[in-house]
Amino acid sequence: MSNPSETELIHMFKGIPFTTRSSLELLKSLDTFDAREDDVLLGSYPKSGTHWLAGVITKLYNTPITLTSPIEFGDVSKLEELNKLSSKRIIPTHLDYNMLPSNFKNKNCKMIYISRNPKDTAVSMYHYYRENPHLPTVDTWTAFFDLFLEGDVVCGSWFDHFLSWEEHKNDKNILFLFYEDMKKDLPKIVKEISVFLDIDISDDDIQDICKKSSFSEMKNNTEKENSDPSHTVCALTSNRKLIFRKGTVGDWKNHFTPKQNLKFEEIFNEKMKLSKMAKRLTYEF
């Protein structure tokens, strides 16, 4: 069977590449989405720890909640499907801030945005591209590295995505998290999330959630879970084995050449020169 052509896998919407698993009709009708005031939105660029974060958040609730697949994943019937849910909705998305359904903003829904240092994100995404039949074929790291820096990958430029959310860093309804902080001190982050979501939780419960939310624990559980395509936090695949790879911090050092690192730093410094949040991105402990 021949590989599907690039054009069958990717299409552009408002200048940003999406996989065709996000239908154009759905993307165009997002603004008609009826957000609810108690919706919680999980925003991220792909491969930044969304699935891990979602796993932690769902463990915080004692009441019925539904973790949906990303709002932009599927066809136009998606919005109707979300509408039918009677329980509280936790909705992931890889959309940049400007593309979010306006209803989320008008209703001041709580949003949590997680970011990860872009060097590790690029490496993680490269492996993802290589193993995911729903994404264009990428032969080498060198080729992917250039695509990533140009924003010629699914969800567009990492820099633009991060900056679109950072513009709202002072909004009361948005909590910014860093993947590296979760790796370093998960109990502290879980506490921060529970305070933000107004969930009363004991320190013992926090310890328990952290135990159940270790990367290896969640990787094993995810791979055991059913592979119902709608049961995914990732807008790029429904293959659960692809969701967790290494989860390490600093894996970029096994891929970047010194020359690539220099080029990356140069572009990073230029694009992020006005960013306060970028200074908080750590590359290793």
Catalytic residues: 94
The residues facing 189 across adjacent strands are: none
What string of DSSP letters covers 157-222?
-HHHHHHHHHTTTT-TTEEEEEHHHHHH-HHHHHHHHHHHTT----HHHHHHHHHHT-HHHHHHHH
> How high is the mean pLDDT of the chain?
88
* Domain parsing of the chain, residue ranges: 22-280
Per-residue pLDDT of the chain (285 residues), as tens digits, is 345 555 689 999 999 999 999 999 999 999 999 999 999 999 999 999 998 899 999 999 999 999 999 999 999 999 999 999 999 999 999 999 999 999 999 999 999 999 999 999 999 999 989 888 889 999 899 999 999 999 999 999 999 999 999 999 999 999 999 999 998 999 999 999 999 999 999 999 999 999 888 766 766 665 555 444 445 555 455 454 544 455 577 889 999 999 999 999 999 999 999 999 988 887 654
The residues facing 41 across adjacent strands are: 91, 111
Task: Check residue 263 and give its pLDDT.
Answer: 96
Task: Check residue 160 and give its pLDDT.
Answer: 97
Residues 6+ apart with CB under 8 A from 175: 110, 111, 112, 113, 192, 193, 196
Residues 6+ apart with CB under 8 A from 126: 138, 141, 144, 145, 148, 255
Q: How far apart are CA 248 and CA 132, in angstroms?
A: 20
Residue 66 has phi, psi (to 5 degrees) of: -125, 120
CA distances (Å), 282 to each of 82, 182, 189, 246, in order? 36, 12, 16, 17
CA distances (Å), 225 to each of 20, 65, 74, 115, 238, in order? 25, 18, 20, 26, 12
Task: Check residue 243 and give its pLDDT.
Answer: 47
Task: Check residue 279 and give its pLDDT.
Answer: 85
Q: Which residue has the tokens 């694009």?
A: 271
The residues facing 110 across adjacent strands are: 40
pLDDT tens digits for 13-66? 999 999 999 999 999 999 999 999 999 999 999 999 998 899 999 999 999 999
Task: Check residue 191 and give its pLDDT.
Answer: 97
Q: How far apart are CA 120 and CA 15, in angstroms?
A: 25
**Percent with pLDDT over 70 in the chain:** 85
The residues facing 88 across adjacent strands are: 65
The answer regarding whether domain 22-280 maps to CATH 3.40.50.300 reads yes
Task: Check residue 227 and give its pLDDT.
Answer: 47
Residue 255 has phi, psi (to 5 degrees) of: -125, -45
Task: Check residue 235 and give its pLDDT.
Answer: 47
Beta strand 65-67 with 16-19 is unpaired
CA distances (Å), 219 to each of 18, 223, 232, 243, in order? 26, 6, 13, 8
